[in-house]
Structure 1
Amino acid sequence: MTNPLALPFDADEMLAGLTPWIETESPTFDTAAVNRMMDVVQHDLAALGARVERIPGRMGLGDSVRATMPHARAGEGGILLLGHLDTVHPVGTLAKLPYRREGDICYGPGLMDMKGGNYVYLDALRKLLAAGVQTPLPVTVLFTPDEEIGTPSTRELIETEAKRHKFILVPEPARPDGGAVIGRYAIARFDLQTRGKPSHAGWALSDGRSAIAEMAKSVARIESMTTDDCTFSVGVFNAGQWVNCVSSVCNAEVLSMAKTQALLDEGVAKMMALNSNEGEVVMEVRRGVTRPVWEPDQPGTMAMLSLAQEIAGEIGFGLTGSSAGGGSDGNFTGFLGLPTLDSIGVRGKGLHTLTEHIFVDSLVERAKLAAALYCRLGA
């Protein structure tokens, strides 16, 4: 059998293949843009000989793509490659963050989170197929459109598919030290609205009651609840159309992260306690989507980590494993107790910013890791 670590991986080739992936911008809320990205990936998977299904989106969000890779037992449960193709970058970000290489670094919107990792793990399958290597277990690929907003439309799809498989690989970007994730903290989202009383801001200011002012007070109160183990962040704040009007409605969104379910429950209780219809400005707090705690040290996941560390040693790098904040779809599969190895994608920095980039040498490194995992899981 061909040694998967000896396959002809080439960073320049991978960067060229990634060009249409990165230059097809795909922010979550732009359904047409996400579906254009799904078109690109559907084509690449079909070119590998996969049986590709396009799963229509719902809730106004994009489609998903599921691919059954060529295998003697294709369609059976085995290894699930799970990733998302939506990004946080609006269409037009390429003008500020063009896809480009500068020495050992390559920049681009969504390159680190997580198109780079998705592509690398597909390239590993491409090289294995070209070499005529059949993996011990069949591989299924599932790419989804809404991870960046908490996976409201595809959680059920992910969980149903994942339950069919023995191992789940999630090529989210590696941790800052290059390590993998073997557990994740809980995440909860909240939708907030304050409702006041409108008036003319110049002519009758005292007649109004500002929803913006009340929400602004709440921002400070909410973020002051943050501790090392349970954080609160106001990430969206929308209100007002006319500067000469006292705004009667203000909307905001809050993200909370907690290291344990008990801490998250406490955080949720604190947030829900902000509901108030007393006084002249009403505050309404509604629960949004939640990612459950993925408890670390589950035997199946730890066995996967041990294998990955053995492979990494053969390649020539160290691979740590730890719990992490920042939700992923691995929360769902790990919460279900399914063996899941997360954040095994490319190394880089600046995800979700206009400096998002990867380290080019991580492409071949992670492709070798992927190929060996495909060949040794279930062997």
Structure 2
Amino acid sequence: MECFTNKQEEMLELIEQLVNIDSGSYLKEGVDKVGAILKAKYEELGFHVEVVEQEELGNHLVINHKDAFDPKILIVAHLDTVFPEGTASERPYTVEGDFAYGPGVIDMKASQVSVLYAMKALIELNDDAYKNVEIVLNSDEEIGSPTSRILIEEKSIGKKYALIMEPARKDGSLVSARRGKGSYTINVKGRAAHSGIEPEKGRSAIEELAYKIVKLHELNDHANGISVNVGLIEGGDSINTVSPSAVGHVDVRISSLDQAEEIEHKIQEVCSTTDVYGTEIELSGYIDRPPMVKNEQTKELLYVIQQVGHEMGLEVTDTKTGGGSDASFTSAQGVATIDGLGPVGGNPHSDREYLEIPTLTERSELLMKTIQRIS
């Protein structure tokens, strides 16, 4: 469609501008700078942009057209990346053939530009569908959306559809299901003693943690989509000291909402008693992202998108993934949700993160026509 193909270079120039700004989740100044650029772009199109101020993390933006009334489509895209300060200057935006590289280029600065130009195209086509859209640009998705979750859930109320702008998979697939996620921390207190002179007086926190790791890993039920992984441990003072402290960090994944309460209860049960006499355990954490379930309403939305793709000559497939995103929050609110609606790319969170440039206009058109169809 000409309204996209004629603007590819313009879109890439904006992506370059955004990529070359450090906007890691904890870099408030950079995240807010990205947000300010996009705010100005939307306001030029006649949209009202509400800035939801945050004290420590970046501000969130809530965007509606000034003529919008009770929009039924929610679009969610995040402003933050995972990269530390200085990354953008060390390896700025570059283009090699059909691929663009740079920190956050696919996760998800290309998606930000895709949403903006989908709105621009609807306005140019005099299609009122842009009035049926509310957009949330949040600043903290990469760290679990601690300050934006409530905002996303609030904006989900009354919506029929949620379009989440994480990038499409490497093969172009959309995401129709995601596992839920939880994070727990086990703090163990023991008693220090010299392991050569009087080891019997010590109480090993590391030994206690080892018992707990074995028991927690026994909770894995991969056939039913439950995984429990103690992926990081810390502990001890020295090699010849019975360890007085140890910490285990636990990652939990679930596939359905009813598994959340069950696995939480089992983790609490494992940590309720000690195996090494004289040690103490403190457990903290919770399930912080519910699963995104491929239910009937999500299947219906996916079918519409696939029909739109077919009319464009584009085969649209879908997949499920274990990674988390804000799609979990809209789905848990009962809104038909499809994720992965951004352009195609790969290697996110790495120094070879890339955008497939030809998919930028293609997926922007798919997004725009999907908004038309479901409006």
> Is the CA contact (8 Å cut-off) linking 2:216 and 2:270 kept in structure 1?
no
**Distance (Å, rounded) in 2 between the aligned partners of 1:61 and 1:201:** 45
> Is the CA contact (8 Å cut-off) linking 2:212 and 2:271 kept in structure 1?
no
**Distance (Å, rounded) in 1 between the aligned partners of 2:198 and 2:159:** 64
Cα distance, 1:369 vs. partner? 0.4
Structure-1 residue corresponding to 2:226:
230
Structure-2 residue corresponding to 1:194:
188
Residue number among 124, 136, 155 corresponding to 1:161 in the alignment: 155
- RMSD across aligned C-alpha pairs, in angstroms? 3.1
Structure-2 residue corresponding to 1:256:
252
Structure-1 residue corresponding to 2:282:
284
Structure-1 residue corresponding to 2:118:
124
Are positions 1:270 and 2:266 aligned together? yes
Residue number among 48, 68, 79 corresponding to 2:73 in the alignment: 79
Deviations 1:299-342 (A, max 9, x none): 3x333212211121222221123443212111111122212221
Are positions 1:68 and 2:64 aligned together? yes
Structure-1 residue corresponding to 2:291:
293
**Distance (Å, rounded) in 2 between the aligned partners of 1:234 and 1:203:** 32
Whichever residue aligns with residue 50 of structure 2, its letter is: E
Structure-1 residue corresponding to 2:144:
150
**Distance (Å, rounded) in 2 between the aligned partners of 1:223 and 1:29:** 32
**Distance (Å, rounded) in 2 between the aligned partners of 1:206 and 1:189:** 34
Residue number among 97, 103, 117 corresponding to 1:109 in the alignment: 103
Q: How many residues align?
A: 370
**Distance (Å, rounded) in 2 between the aligned partners of 1:239 and 1:47:** 55
Structure 1 residues 291 and 8, CA, compared in 2 at 3 Å: closer, same or farther?
closer
**Distance (Å, rounded) in 2 between the aligned partners of 1:242 and 1:33:** 41
Whichever residue aligns with residue 232 of structure 1, its letter is: V
TM-score, structure 1 length as denominator?
Answer: 0.84
Deviations 1:229-269 (A, max 9, x none): 21223455556899998764444432211222344444323
Residue number among 132, 139, 152 corresponding to 1:138 in the alignment: 132
Residue number among 39, 49, 52 corresponding to 2:49 in the alignment: 52
Structure-2 residue corresponding to 1:182:
176
Structure-1 residue corresponding to 2:323:
326
Structure-1 residue corresponding to 2:17:
20
Q: Where do 5+ consecutive residues of structure 2 fail to align?
A: none
> Is the CA contact (8 Å cut-off) linking 1:97 and 1:355 kept in structure 2?
no
Structure-1 residue corresponding to 2:303:
306
> Is the CA contact (8 Å cut-off) linking 2:123 and 2:130 kept in structure 1?
no
**Distance (Å, rounded) in 1 between the aligned partners of 2:194 and 2:309:** 65
Q: Where do 5+ consecutive residues of structure 1 fail to align?
A: none
> Is the CA contact (8 Å cut-off) linking 1:186 and 1:293 kept in structure 2?
yes
Among all aligned residue pairs of Structure 1 and Structure 2, give the percentage whose two residues are the same amino acid.
Answer: 29
Whichever residue aligns with residue 297 of structure 1, its letter is: N
Deviations 1:320-377 (A, max 9, x none): 2344321211111112221222111121221222322221121111011011122222
Cα distance, 1:200 vs. partner? 8.2
Cα distance, 1:189 vs. partner? 1.8
**Distance (Å, rounded) in 2 between the aligned partners of 1:267 and 1:290:** 13
**Distance (Å, rounded) in 2 between the aligned partners of 1:42 and 1:205:** 63
Structure 1 residues 251 and 27, CA, compared in 2 at 3 Å: closer, same or farther?
farther
